[in-house]
Amino acid sequence: MNIPAPGTPLRRLSVLDQSPIAEGTSGGEALRNTLDLARLADRLGFHRYWLAEHHATPMLACASPEVMIGPVAAATARIRVGSGGVMLPHYSPLKVAESFSMLAGLHPGRIDLGLGRAPGSDRRTAFALQRDRRQESPDDFPEQLAELMAYFKDRIAPTHPFAKLAGTLPGRPESPEFWLLGSSPQSGIWAAALGLPYMFADFISPEGAAIATRYRSEFAPSEDLAAASVGVAVSVICAETDEEAWRLSASIRMAIILLQSGRLIAVPRPEAALTFMRDELGSPDAKACNRRLIAGSPATVRAGIEAVARDYGAEEVMIVTITHDHQARRRSYELVAEAFGLTPEGSLAEPAAASR
């Protein structure tokens, strides 16, 4: 893997798709929109396309990234496709290993396995996802992660009861590229100790620059990664003007504000969201508490993305965009690609420009 040294300019732009369900539409439409957006991202030159995992919510349709990765990879030609991420505490490490081994075998050199610890749901739903419901599952993420990686790396001790299972992965010799995802210090500590690339969810917690710095300082090189690799996932809406982008952003602002109070809704229309915020919150410019949103014209968005990348020392920025209108979401990614001079080969036309 060719990883730039810390402090180098932003080099890659990628997509995190949460498969948003717009008010008045269905989850099936949202999933078909994911396929459409993936084809567009592939043509525009984004580096990777990740599918998120969320459960029991009227706003986001993808409950199973591994189910969507296959169709997205089949519908595209060049872009890397992966999970952003698989919430490992819900699952057997062997089952995850088998699923992503199959995907890697079908699409060699294009599959990423991004792993997270968060439930992607409320506690009741997390409990419902368990096979054994006599008690809550143990908090043993490090052990799960070690077992999962051991299946792909043939590092299970010969005396271990699962030792022979590593050789049975169906997609061998292909393997996915591992990433650890997070929005808290602990995930960065684990990623550094295991020598894994690290993607921080700034769109959830915009206070991660210090966590990324600690990850780099504690990074232990591995056989797959010689130097620390930091990516940052950022919430972005780009339109022709700052005013139009901010209008479009009303949908996600309202949805997140209600989410923070425990109310789950489909992505509302901008006009309804603006009315809600004006009448209920006193201002149509209300923002979700502790959430960063980069919204504006191409010039405004580029400057905002570059600033976040500098803060994190990130060579890759993953963009998550949620609007009520799918065409507006498509246009947002088109404008970002144009603003950065993205090429169909998946690189920035002028990498040094990102440091200006």
Predicted structure pTM score: 0.92
In the chain, the domains with their CATH numbers are 12-242+293-355 (3.20.20.30)
pLDDT digits (tens, 9 = 90+) for 216-248: 999 999 999 999 999 999 999 999 999 999 999
pLDDT per residue over 165-201, tens digit each?
A: 888 999 999 999 999 999 999 999 999 999 999 999 9
CA distance 254 to 276: 8
Q: Is the pLDDT of residue 5 over 50?
A: no
pLDDT over 50 (residue 78): yes
pLDDT one-digit tens code per residue, 23-65: 999 999 999 999 999 999 999 999 999 999 999 999 999 999 9
Q: What 3 state SS string does the chain have?
A: CCCCCCCCCCCEEEEEECCECECCCCHHHHHHHHHHHHHHHHHHCCCEEEECCCCCCCCECCCCHHHHHHHHHHHCCCCEEEEEEEEHHHCCHHHHHHHHHHHHHHCCCCEEEEEECCCCCCHHHHHHHCCCCCCCCCCCHHHHHHHHHHHHHCCCCCCCCCHHHHHHCCCCCCCCEEEEEECCHHHHHHHHHHCCCEEEECCCCCCCHHHHHHHHHHCCCCCCCCCCCEEEEEEEEECCCHHHHHHHHHHHHHHHHHHCCCCCCCECCHHHHHHHHHHHHCCCCCCCCCCCCEEECHHHHHHHHHHHHHHHCCCEEEEECCCCCHHHHHHHHHHHHHHHCECCCCCECCHHHHHC
Q: For position 349, what pLDDT does the model report? A: 62
Q: What is the largest CA-CA distance in the chain?
A: 66
pLDDT at 1: 32
Amino acid residing at 165: L
Nearest residue to 207 via CA among 190, 180, 185: 185
pLDDT tens-digit map of 118-165: 765 677 777 777 777 777 777 889 999 999 999 998 888 888 888 888
Which phi and psi (to 5°) does residue 41 adopt?
A: -60, -35
Give the residue carrying structure tokens 């960065």.
188
